[in-house]
Amino acid sequence: MRTRWIPAATALTVVLGVTGCGVERGAQPKSAPSASKAPQDEPNGVEKLDGKSVIDRAREAIGAAQTMRRTYTPKEAASEKAPAYTSDVVMATGFGGCTVKYDFGERGRTEAMVLSDRRIWVRSDRTMLERDHGADTAERFVGKYIADEITDAFTYYKLLLPCDTEGLLGDPEEADSVRYTKQTPTTVRGVRVLPVELTTKDARSTVHVALDGKPYPMRTTWSGAPYTLDYRFDEPFAPKAPPTSQTVPMKEFAKAVGAEEEPHWEVGIG
């Protein structure tokens, strides 16, 4: 699997602690076909495999992917306790950068972008800034990217959990403790998929693996969980640092909000 410096992520319940960020999107130099075009491709044969082998093939496909988009959608309206998020990750050369966009409903929105050199930019909308720091701070920093650096693996750890690309389909070393059950083929976003249920002593999830083209996972759901995770792979994505004119150093922001130490954006995982 890819080089990684962010600890493994699981299903998230996210609550904002300080404030937010921003990103720019750019064209991928080498554009790869979207997973949404899989119906035009040839069947990949995973339907004939046993459930464990289907998941193994899906892991292999993830390992060769250029980029990944992951969309976390709560079944109820997005809120502080159950936000929605979308993350994009460059995976072609190890960890090549990531953006995450959180939607906390009435509480506001926050974005974060981290590049491969561990520089990070965070931006919140006016609603989020005003609720956390007051109207004057919101007026001063709205639209600005707060620039910082990640000094160790745990700085911004929770905020950037959706950037992790490992452990998406469970730990392969624990495969013997999982029961794999193939289900009836169906479709996800117009793509033919084979659902495979993964059952352990603690949880039950279902991974929907594409039947045409590359056997990418298209969606994961969990029994009793109020959310779904959707995936897209190999779509054009190239994160760029925002212009200096649109950024503010973390030290300046910390001083403006009266923080004794430089704050770091935290989200609570429950």
d(CA 48, CA 54): 9
Query: Is 222's pLDDT higher than 60?
Result: yes
Of 9-13, 131-135, 171-175, 179-183, minimum mean pLDDT range = 9-13
Residue 147 tokens read as 């620039």
Residue 27 forms part of a structural domain: yes
Q: What is the pLDDT of residues 159-185, one digit of tens each?
A: 888 888 877 787 777 777 899 999 999
Identify the pLDDT of residue 34: 47
Residue 134 lies in a domain: yes
| Higher-scoring residue by pLDDT: 28, 234 | 234
**Residue 202 clears pLDDT 90, i.e. is over it:** no
Is residue 6 assigned to a domain?
Answer: no
Residue 8 lies in a domain: no
How many domains is the chain built from?
Answer: 1
pLDDT at 38 > cutoff 70: no
CA-based nearest residue to 233, from 28, 76, 83: 28
**Stronger pLDDT, 227 or 38, i.e. the higher one:** 227
Has residue 252 been placed in a domain?
Answer: yes
Read off the pTM: 0.78
3-state SS of 211-238?
A: CECCCCEEEEEECCCCEEEEEEECCCCC
The pLDDT of residue 263 is 55
Question: What is residue 264's predicted lDDT score, i.e. its pLDDT?
Answer: 58
Nearest to 238 by CA among 85, 113, 101, 82: 113
Whether 237 maps to a domain, the answer reads: yes
The CATH number for 259's domain is: 2.50.20.20
Taking all residues of the chain, what is their mean pLDDT, rounded to a whole number? 81
**Res 260: pLDDT:** 64
pLDDT at 190: 94
Give a yes or no: residue 56 inside a domain: yes
pLDDT of residue 10: 30
For residue 44, give its domain range. Answer: 14-269
pLDDT at 266: 52
Contact 52, 60 (CB under 8 A): no
Whole-angstrom CA distances from 211 to 12, 66, 115, 194 are: 28, 20, 33, 6
Q: Could you give the CA distance from residue 128 to residue 37 in angstroms, rounded to a whole number?
A: 37
From the centroid of its chain, how far is CA 41?
26
pLDDT at 128 over 60: yes
Contact 128, 19 (CB under 8 A): yes
Give the mean model confidence (pLDDT) for residues 71-88: 89
Residues 6+ apart with CB under 8 A from 6: 95, 153, 157, 160, 161, 163, 164
Question: Can you tell me the distance from the alpha carbon of 101 to that of 270, in angstroms, rounded to the nearest whole number?
Answer: 19
Percent of the chain with pLDDT strictly greater than 90 = 54
Mean pLDDT of 28-42: 49
pLDDT at residue number 225? 84
pLDDT band at 151 (very low <50, low <70, confident <90, very high): confident
pLDDT grade for 11, boundaries at 50, 70 and 90: very low
Q: What's the pLDDT score for residue 23?
A: 36
Q: What is the mean pLDDT of residues 107-113?
A: 93
Q: Which of 6, 8, 2 is nearest to 167 (CA)?
A: 8
Burial 165-183, CB ≥16 within 10 A → b, else e: bbebbbeeeeeeebebebe
For residue 40, what pLDDT band results from cuts at 50, 70 and 90?
low
8: number of Cβ within 10 Å: 12
**pLDDT, average across residues 182-204:** 95
Q: Is residue 4 part of a domain?
A: no
Q: Read off the DSSP letter of residue 245.
A: G
